[in-house]
Structure 1
Amino acid sequence: MEEDHSSNFLLYVAVAIVGVATIYLVRRFFKGKQFTENVKAKDKVIIVTGASAGIGKQIARELNIRGGKVYLMCRDVDRANAAIRDLAAKYGCDTTRLIVIQGDLANFASVRKFVDEFNRRESKLDILVNNAGIGHYSNFEKTVDGHEVIFQTNYLGHFLLTHLLLPKLEKSDSPRIVGLSSILHLNADNVDQKTVEDEKKFSWMLGTYSRSKLANVMHAAVLTKKLRADDPTTKITFNTCHPGAVSTEIARNTFLSWPVISSLAKPFIWFFMKTDYDGAQTPLFLALSKKVDGASGKYFAECAESKVHPLVHDQAACDTLYNYSMVACGLNK
């Protein structure tokens, strides 16, 4: 009888060990590839948009810990300063190298004001991380500049910011632009002006979001070609990436933010989705890794080059988007 109890106990222990090991391995799989290179960011001047929370906050954290001077471009200055205090308290970040400048990508005048202030403070820019974004809007709305909110926040605002900062990037020895896109860019139908600005074609789910993320990838491809055509010796690189399925505030305007749904979903979110820090790994890889020295116009996922939408290879489509964006942002004058 005692032998039966002992056998059962050992069986339970074995099952428990296998179960815990399985959960650990599966959870580790969903965490995704981690950036483990020992690369410093000492003396580098960096801008991270949308750095008051989520992936952007974790990117700022890691770049600061590695020695970089990080500017946080955020709409809400108070919230950004609270994020800095949190980073200092939890991770020992150096607050003298975390600086907030207010900037709203949904307002071109605000973007220009941000750049003016940054230019007043710094003589160069080493790394620009275009991270900020919104994933869902229940209704079609236009910004003060007359463009659909998601498309301007995720794409046009970053387009303007990037082009205004090119002179500062050119002053760096190893300038890099990193754009956060999404695997959902593969689902986009197109990025034609008539589509992205048409209320009837607005998608309250993820269609409009997917278009903005496709535009990000196309921007990196076309700007790379234009920069190298203008100056074959340019050191500026521009790559985009999919950070993974991350549980961030980008879903704050969806049903997933409802209290009941949020509570029920927590165990599944913990198990199947990445943390903010996990989501920051591929952007950090593109910002710092020596493995991507010279690489530009590419799209990455899990720290490796990945498949892109066919329109990214369509030069005519890329040029059309680029020309539309130049006019929309007032850069053609």
Structure 2
Amino acid sequence: MDGTGEGEESGWSASILLYSAIAFIVLFFVRRFFKGGQFSERVSAKGLVAVVTGANCGIGFETVRELNLRKADVYMLCRSSERANDAKRQLVRMGCDATRLHFIECDLTDFESVRRAAKELLESTNTIDILINNAGIMFQNNHVLTKDGHEKTWQSNHLGPFLLTELLLPAIKNSSYARIVNVSSRLNLNSGKINLATVDDKKSFGMMSSYNQSKLANVMHARGLTAQLRKDDASHVTINSLHPGVVNTELMRDSVFALPGIKHITAPLRWFFLKTSRDGAQTSIHLALSKKLGGISGKYFADCKLTKENTLALDDSACQDLYNYSRETTGLAR
């Protein structure tokens, strides 16, 4: 009987080990699926000058880290000097070179702040190789107008980055590398046609609909500027947009998931089912550095691969209208 009991116990132990191993393997591959595409090319960014907005946290922080570790000189555009300096200290502890990390204050909801940041940048360098329009806001519950008179989500996510891009174009055109990256969202697929005449109106505002249309504008901006660059004989400059994935970042700070109790309870699930900031930065890095993308412009990517955008973004006339409107609205057409 003792021998039989020991055999049964040994069998149970083996079964538990087997099922545990199978469960671990399944969870490993499921987690890898949610991590999404990873940029794996061995590419150096030595000698390149990069500009990243929203660089002190989340995807922007990880984008700066990767570019710096690959030897790029990185300008971090952030609203808060305190948070930017905290981020710089953390980046240095992670192995980054502090001499290649530079902070410039920039608030995309304030056109004057964007102009000051662009002026400071152009005084610091006459060549910009990479511009990553990463910063953005989400989950704005109320209709708020900026000091410039525009709906806050619209200005932060589209008009501000648009103005910055236009102001930096002279330095970007000076680069033979010349890549612009717009961080959009898959939610651009949920946007209807953008009504430029009412985009700032309270009646047109919706927490998600306003965000979705701002992300569609990011995709349309890439296509519209591509057409303009080709007209200007500057087709060496490329601009593409991307969906970073569903990422557990500070964009969640204005959502229900930021409430203390819910944040604590959902932490394991968010870690498992959502991308980390480092995972979310992979497609930005891909568009900034991949050797496979030379000359590709006006396209939309996700998980380091070309993918389909909202069909509204394929309307070249609408993209041109958005480009003209944006230049006029930001004071560039005067």
The TM-score normalised by the length of structure 2 is: 0.97
Structure 2 residue aligned with 1:230: 232
Displacement after TM superposition at 1:99 (Å): 0.4
SS of residue in 2 equivalent to 1:241: strand
2:216–2:310 CA contact under 8 A, matched in 1: yes
Structure 2 residue aligned with 1:165: 168
Which residues in structure 2 correspond to 1:144-223 (within 5 Å)? 144-204=147-207, 206-223=208-225
SS of residue in 2 equivalent to 1:300: strand
Equivalent of 1:17, from 14, 21, 32?
21
Counterparts of 1:260 and 1:106, CA distance in 2 = 31
CA deviations over 1:213-272 (Å, ceiling 9, x no partner): 0000000001101110221x5310000000001000011111111001111111110110
CA deviations over 1:258-296 (Å, ceiling 9, x no partner): 001111111110110000000000000000001111100
Identity %: 47
Aligned residues: 330
Unaligned 5+ segments in structure 1 are none
Which residues in structure 2 correspond to 1:34-73 (within 5 Å)? 34-73=38-77
2:226–2:235 CA contact under 8 A, matched in 1: no
1:196–1:211 CA contact under 8 A, matched in 2: no
CA deviations over 1:151-177 (Å, ceiling 9, x no partner): 100110000000011100011111000
CA deviations over 1:51-88 (Å, ceiling 9, x no partner): 00000000000000000000000000110010010011
Which residues in structure 2 correspond to 1:1-333 (within 5 Å)? 1-89=5-93, 91-204=94-207, 206-231=208-233, 234-333=235-334
Counterparts of 1:324 and 1:12, CA distance in 2 = 64
Counterparts of 1:22 and 1:323, CA distance in 2 = 51
Which 10-residue stretch deviates more, 316-325 or 246-255?
316-325
1:48–1:129 CA contact under 8 A, matched in 2: yes
Displacement after TM superposition at 1:19 (Å): 0.8
Counterparts of 1:195 and 1:270, CA distance in 2 = 39
The TM-score normalised by the length of structure 1 is: 0.98
CA deviations over 1:187-227 (Å, ceiling 9, x no partner): 001222234212112112x2111100000000000110111
SS of residue in 2 equivalent to 1:194: coil
Give structure 1 regions of 4+ aligned residues with deviation exceeding 6 angstroms: none
Unaligned 5+ segments in structure 2 are none
- Indicate the RMSD between aligned Cα atoms, in angstroms: 0.9
